[in-house]
Each structure stands twice: as structure tokens, then as C-alpha cells.
Amino acid sequence: MDEKNFLAEQFEANRARLRAVAYRMLGSTGEVDDAVQETWLRMSRTDTSAVDNLGGWLTTVVARVCLDMLRSRKSRREEPMGPHVPEPATSDEHEPDADMADSVGAALLVVLETLAPAERLAFVLHDMFAVPFEEIAPIVGRTPAAARQLASRARRRVQGTPPAPDADISRQKRIVDAFLAASRSGDFEGLLAVLDPDVVFRADEAAQRLGSLGEIRGAAAVAETFKGRAQAAKPALVDGALAIAVIFGGQLRIVLRLTLSGERIAAVEAVADAEQIGTFDVEVLDRG
């Protein structure tokens, strides 16, 4: 059997799973078809000879495709009359889809539509398809711990528990408020008080073009960087996690994603790439 036929057989063997992942991610049979077709095209263009688990690889690819489609849907704001409404799967072309839709449930799909794209992906892959967080993390551009948090927030919302603001978010906001206050006033000691001694600051290429260093390590160096700044910064929820939004001229210019350890900030990631920022679900907490 030649390689092309072998890959086609392997793809067909995984098609039902790929459609199931895509349906839970997208809630639209038309988009499911597009996602599965794109997954096949990417597979056909890729050398998979070194892939040990082709089924897992395909699941990762279709998840990436679906995440891109969700983010594109969000950036285009395609729903002027309200949120995207999941489509029931029909049985005229794909007979198993009706049973698949019944197994998912319309109510669950409606709840999934309220999640940020990264939350939805983490929840669907981990809770519904048992994909480890170590494999989910690179898909959403997070650490495994952060991917776990995304799934946890999504799970609480699915279960009917308000995800925020909860006690932990309130505690974290107090830390961020103290950081911003110390930054604005140039309080070096105040900054040291809320920064982990081994804090790491990293900036994407867009932030570096704005004058930031690519990486800064240690509380003293990070505190010196932020001293006297943050005048346009506000605490925000970004994909459900506490972060800092930097707003100029009424537009979101930079997102500082935070990792907190105990009562201190352990890592700061500056994201200024406009395309990536456009994929974030951002809620500014202090608008005054």
C-alpha cells in the first residue's frame, strides 16, 4: 500500500473522532465539514513519518483549526443580532451526526458558546476527549498549569457556577492593584513587595519594537522597568484570567498576561501583536 492510500485509510479511521471534536468546538455542521477538510489538507502536506500517534496528531491539528475558526468568528463579529447559535446536526449527509448532536445536547452547546475560544478548547479536549494538558498547552499558547486553569473556569461555567469574580480573582486583583499603584507612583519598594524574587518578564516581537527588552529576570530589574509607568494600564480579565490591559486612545494596545504564585507576581508576558490581541476575550475591570 502506498503512503497516500495509507494516510487516507488512517484519516478515515479517525474521521468520526475529528468530527466529534470539531462539532463540540464549533457547533455548526457546515464549519465541521470545513475543519475536517482543512485537517486532511494539512495532513496531506505534512511529513507524518515520524508521528508515533497519528490519531493524537490529527486531534491536535483539528483542534488548532477549530481554534483559528472560533477566533476568526470572534474577530469578524459575525453575530450582529446576538451570539452564535449552535446548529443541530442533520442526518441527510452525515447520518451519525444526529446521534452525535443528541449526545452533546443543545443546552451544553449553548453554554460552550459563552466560553472564550481558549477556554472552550481546553475544556472540550480535556474533559470530553481526555487530552492531557501538556498537549493542550502549546495549542492555546499557555503553560500546562494555565491550560488547566482555562479548563477549570470553563467547567465551572458549564456546571452553572459563576467563574468570576470569585474569591481567588478578588485576591489576585488586590495584588495587581498594588502593583499598578506602586508602578504609577514610582514606588520601587512597593513593586518589590508584590514581585516574586525570581520573576521573569518576557515580551513578544511587537512589544520589543515598542522599546521593551525581550526578557528581564529578577525582581529588582523588573521593578526598575515598571517604576513610574503603567499610567494607561488597568486590571482586566483576559480569557478569564487576571491580567493587565494597556489602553491608549481608547484602544487596547498591550496585554500583560500574569502568572501569580501565592501573593506575588511570578511572571509577566507582554503581548502587543494586534492580531493575537484580537483573539483575546478581554474584560477591563476598572474603567474609571
Each residue's pLDDT tens digit, 7-37 = 889 899 999 999 999 999 998 888 999 999 9
Predicted confidence band at 156 (pLDDT cuts at 50, 70, 90)? Answer: confident
Cross-strand pairs, 233? 246
pLDDT score for 56? 92
Query: For residues 276 and 183, which has the higher predicted lDDT (pLDDT)?
Result: 183
| Contact assessment for residue 193 and residue 178, using Cβ atoms and an 8 Å cutoff | yes
Name the H helices within the chain: 3-26, 29-44, 54-76, 96-104, 106-112, 117-123, 129, 133-140, 144-158, 167-185, 188-194, 205-209, 219-226, 274-277
Smallest CA-to-CA distance from 103 within 91, 116, 89, 114 is with 89
Contacts of residue 280, Cβ cutoff 8 Å, sequence gap at least 6: 116, 238, 239, 255
Taking the C-alpha atoms of residue 169 and residue 163, their distance in angstroms, rounded to an integer, is 9
- Give the least confident one: 86-100, 127-141, 240-254: 86-100
Angle (CA) 102-105-110 rounded to 5° is 145
Reduce the DSSP state of residue 113 to 3 states and report it.
Answer: coil
This prediction has a pTM of 0.57
Q: How does pLDDT run across 185-205, given as a tens digit for each residue? A: 999 999 999 999 999 999 999
pLDDT band, very low/low/confident/very high, at 85 (cuts 50, 70, 90): very low
Task: Quote the pLDDT of residue 170.
Answer: 83
C-alpha–C-alpha distance, residues 242 and 254, integer Å: 14
> Is residue 245 a contact partner of residue 233, using CB atoms and an 8 Å limit?
yes
Indicate the average pLDDT of the chain: 83
Is there a cis peptide before residue 165, judged by omega within 30 degrees of 0? yes
pLDDT-based confidence at residue 141 (cuts at 50, 70, 90) = confident
- Mean of the pLDDT values across residues 1-11? 80
Q: pLDDT band at 243, cuts 50/70/90?
A: very high
Q: Looking at 23-27, 82-86, 275-279, which range is the least confident one?
A: 82-86
Higher-pLDDT residue of 73 and 84 is 73
Residue predicted with more confidence, 67 or 85: 67
> Looking at per-residue confidence, does 245 or 164 come out higher?
245
Residue with the larger pLDDT of the pair 213 and 146: 213
DSSP 43-104: HHTS--TT-S-HHHHHHHHHHHHHHHHHHHHHHHT--TTSSPPPPPPPSSS-THHHHHHHHH
The closest alpha carbon to 219, from 249, 184, 185, 179, belongs to 179
Q: Which of 79-88, 174-183, 215-224 has the lowest mean pLDDT?
A: 79-88
What pLDDT score was predicted for residue 66?
Answer: 94
DSSP annotation of 262 reads T
Confidence of residue 160 (pLDDT cuts 50, 70, 90): confident
Please, which residues have CB within 8 angstroms of residue 103's CB and are 6 or more apart in sequence?
none
Contacts by residues 8-14 (CB-CB < 8 Å, ≥ 24 positions apart): 10/54, 10/55, 11/40, 11/43, 11/58, 13/55, 14/54, 14/55, 14/58, 14/59
150: cell is: 482555562
Q: Quote the Cα angle for 112-114-115, to 5°.
A: 70
Share of the chain above pLDDT 90, in %: 48
